[in-house]
Structure 1
Amino acid sequence: MGEVDPAFIQEPQHRAKLYTIQAEEIPVIDLSSSDPSSIEGLVKEIGSACKEWGFFQVTNHGVPLTLRQSIEKASRMFFSQTLEEKRKVSRDESSPCGYYDTEHTKNVRDWKEVFDFQAKDPTFIPLNSDEHDHRISNWTNQSPQYPPNFRDIIVEYVEEMEKLSFKLMELIALSLGLEAKRFEEFFSKDQTSFIRLNHYPPCPYPELALGVGRHKDAGALTILAQDEVGGLQVKRKADQEWVRVKPTPDAYIINVGDIIQVSF
């Protein structure tokens, strides 16, 4: 074994327990129910999953399988390029989106590379916190030349993710005893949703490094597509044990972020 860059090494207490993670699975929820009696049961399932886990998987979600296959294929094609080609669309001062391969989580470098794309393009933000500074920054999305139609595929996929997000937010609102559309006003305008494509290259030091370290998501919802390789681990609230999430074909994993979790 060669020497590993110290920047990637996790503290012993935070390294993956490769052989001792329990087999219990997070809830899998079928979203295909449409009649009132089924909706009531669906709402209860969603509420229970949010309270007990903060994670669940959804099936029959309405996102076309062909679209998911298209973006997965395009993602693999993009990341298979040379580093020189990928860095042509790297993040820079004019855009926080694009390619990036030196991200850190809790001050430890992740064993991954990413491509970020904002749902709304462009986004205008203050340059600093000075209330007298009225300048704005125009953030734009990077558009790789390869693979062909990469941007079009991403835009179409983002639209489907937004539809699913609003559907899930309605179910979560109902589970809290609120009107279905209660949260919509907070996310229909000025939202900061983005899509992230992650690539985790083979790691020769899985006992030392992680694709991404332990963390919470600060937003409302994260919709995660996990491939057949798997690797995601989540921590259950009740026993604080890490659980490996078994990949479910064509399912999405939902992570309830801090903004919503406070409601439970």
Structure 2
Amino acid sequence: MPAEQKAAVRRDEVAPLGYYESEHTKNVRDWKEVFDFVPREPPPPAAVADGELVFENKWPQGLPGFRVAMEEYAKAMEELALKLLELIARSLGLRPDRLNGFFKDDDQTTFLRLNHYPPCPSPELVLGVTRHKDAGALTILYQDDVGGLDVRRRSDGEWVRVRPVPGSFVINVGDVIQVWSNDRYESAEHRASVNSHEQRFSLPYFFNPGGDVMVEPLEELVSDDSPPRYEPYNWGVFFRTKRSSNFKKLAVENLQIAHFRKDLNSIA
């Protein structure tokens, strides 16, 4: 779309939905454009308190059918995410709906993103998204047939390209699942590479808990032999802090779940 139409739906730190072209991941500028939106918009507030985020979707003009398609896609992704959540609960020996209560229909921390990675004249110098782990529970990613997603291999630390499979999704477990499972699941470290001759698109759905949820290892998964490895933290505060860092390079290390990890050796 023309630059002026993108600017009309540009997002900022107060209203973080819409178009943006200068995002930072872990304090590193990304080579990409993004468009963010939430599946459900809250009713407009009578007043916005100091520091409160305004979650209002900014739909671009001149794209017939775009809004309807994205809203239908968001609904389908929510259904898939809940099914995946139940499978993860079962794999941990929990009842299938054990994790469902942490997610609310009217919460605005779950969101979708349309990524555009333009061709880059020096792809060896930059990344579409630098290496990171997703902070939420699950990411359901659709990528086009160009591909560009790399995942860190645990055995040797090398990066492995995730080849696109037509009609499929890539599922990334996020930090929240890692904490809930007390490290039985590990959040997937990944990055997005770019190339010099071809643009690419991807569409991730970030499935996140409610803003008032305290994230900590589940009581069923801790014991004297397996004590909790993380201090509790408030997801809403964590989410807002992470989102604000997308707009500027911070003078401190980007917030990570590693900051909440307990020193079990000192406890012992």
Q: Would you call these one fold, judging by a TM-score over 0.5?
A: yes
Task: Give the AA of the match of 2:139.
Answer: T
Who is 1:119 aligned against? Answer: 39
Contact 1:102 1:110 in 2 (8 A): yes
Who is 1:89 aligned against? Answer: 9
Count of aligned pairs between the two proteins: 177
Q: Choose from 213, 231, 236 the match for 2:148.
A: 231
Deviation at 1:107, TM superposition (A): 2.2
SS of residue in 1 equivalent to 2:75: helix
1:165 equivalent to 2:81? Answer: yes
**Separation in 2 of the partners of 1:168 and 1:126?**
36
Deviation at 1:104, TM superposition (A): 1.2
**Separation in 2 of the partners of 1:153 and 1:178?**
35
Task: Give the AA of the match of 2:103.
Answer: F
SS of residue in 2 equivalent to 1:182: coil
Deviation at 1:122, TM superposition (A): 2.4
1:206 equivalent to 2:90? Answer: no
**Normalising by structure 2, what TM-score?**
0.62
SS of residue in 2 equivalent to 1:215: strand
Task: Give the AA of the match of 1:188.
Answer: K
**Separation in 1 of the partners of 2:75 and 2:125?**
38
Root-mean-square deviation over aligned CA pairs: 1.9
Q: Which runs of 5+ in 2 are unaligned?
A: 185-268
Q: Which runs of 5+ in 1 are unaligned?
A: 1-80, 129-135
**Separation in 2 of the partners of 1:137 and 1:206?**
34
**Separation in 2 of the partners of 1:261 and 1:93?**
28
Cα 1:176–1:127, aligned 2, differ >3 Å: closer, same or farther? farther
Deviation at 1:145, TM superposition (A): 1.4
- Name the one with the larger helix percent: 1
**Normalising by structure 1, what TM-score?**
0.63
Who is 2:133 aligned against? Answer: 216
**Separation in 2 of the partners of 1:176 and 1:191?**
27
Contact 1:119 1:192 in 2 (8 A): no
Task: Give the AA of the match of 1:200.
Answer: Y
Contact 2:38 2:55 in 1 (8 A): no
Cα 1:93–1:243, aligned 2, differ >3 Å: closer, same or farther? closer
Who is 2:56 aligned against? Answer: 140
Who is 2:170 aligned against? Answer: 253
Task: Give the AA of the match of 2:87.
Answer: L
SS of residue in 2 equivalent to 1:154: helix
**Separation in 1 of the partners of 2:6 and 2:54?**
22
Deviation at 1:255, TM superposition (A): 0.6
Task: Give the AA of the match of 2:144.
Answer: D
Cα 1:228–1:89, aligned 2, differ >3 Å: closer, same or farther? same
SS of residue in 2 equivalent to 1:139: coil
Identity %: 59
Q: Larger relative contact order (C-alpha < 8 A, sep ≥ 6)?
A: 1
Deviation at 1:138, TM superposition (A): 4.1
Deviation at 1:82, TM superposition (A): 1.2
Cα 1:240–1:144, aligned 2, differ >3 Å: closer, same or farther? same
Task: Give the AA of the match of 1:127.
Answer: D
SS of residue in 1 equivalent to 2:172: strand
Task: Give the AA of the match of 1:121.
Answer: E
Poorly superposed stretches of 4+, deviation over 6 Å: none
SS of residue in 2 equivalent to 1:218: coil
| Residues 151-179 of structure 1: per-residue CA shift (max 9 Å, x gap) | 11111110000000000000000000001
1:187 equivalent to 2:103? Answer: yes
